[in-house]
Structure 1
Amino acid sequence: MTFAALGMTPLISVFDMPSAVSFYREILGFDLVSASPEVETREGTFSHWVWLRRGPVELMLNTQFDSNERPEENDQARVAAHGDTVLYIGCSDVDEAFDELTRRGLQADAPTMAPYGLKQFSTKDPDGYTVVFQEVR
């Protein structure tokens, strides 16, 4: 007998948890599934880890630094290194997704056809990760 895989939930590291959570919840429309206890730090009040979900799409965020250890500015070399990480989110209607998300404040170019035949649009999150929304038919 074999087990049934139920999905995959990537974990990405973020510099500023409140900014990341705001982007994924307020702009992209994810809901909070679970979070570690909030901490009071010189950087603010936040959870070091959160689990988010929008429909069947799940994502976990974890802070890069422990409490009171975050530098004033993000390491731009680290942000640039995120260029090889892309989060693809399948949509039933990518034009509808674009309209909804841009109404929520997302900055992105209109959907286009990719050379491999999928209609899609992309954006960057506050940590430089690329998020692509593509139509699944």
Structure 2
Amino acid sequence: MRTVTVLRHALGALGVALVGLGAWLVAAEPDPLGVLAWLVGALVLHDGILAPLVLAVGLLLVGRRRRGLLRGALLVAGSVVLVTLPLLVRPGAPPNPSALPLPYGRNLLIVLVAVAVVTGVSIAVAWGRERGRGHRQGRATADD
């Protein structure tokens, strides 16, 4: 048997074992239906909202000159939002008062603005370099 086939079977068996472990851990929870409802909600949120949104943004970026910078900025902004969103939308006071010692909403907005500013400056610098390079090349061909 080839090494790739053995590796594929081993990884498949590991995946099945981890799914079994996850099912056992859910069953051991005091409220397994609550955990399952959360999992279904996460699945609907991801497949029904997040994935189509990412695909739509990807379609909008096709053919853009600085799409790598834009994708990087969107990845950073999306990651920051995903990390802070559970703390922001949780109702009531946090169980640990040190979990939210600062105003997360304001700080999230500051980070998102910083990401947008850094992205904008990076795009402007790249555009300026490209324009300067084209301008110098244009002069060199005019002198020939």
TM norm structure 2:
0.22
TM norm structure 1:
0.23
Identify the structure with bigger relative contact order (alpha carbons < 8 Å, sequence gap 6+): 1
More strand by share: 1
More helix by share: 2
Structure (1 or 2) with the larger CA radius of gyration: 2
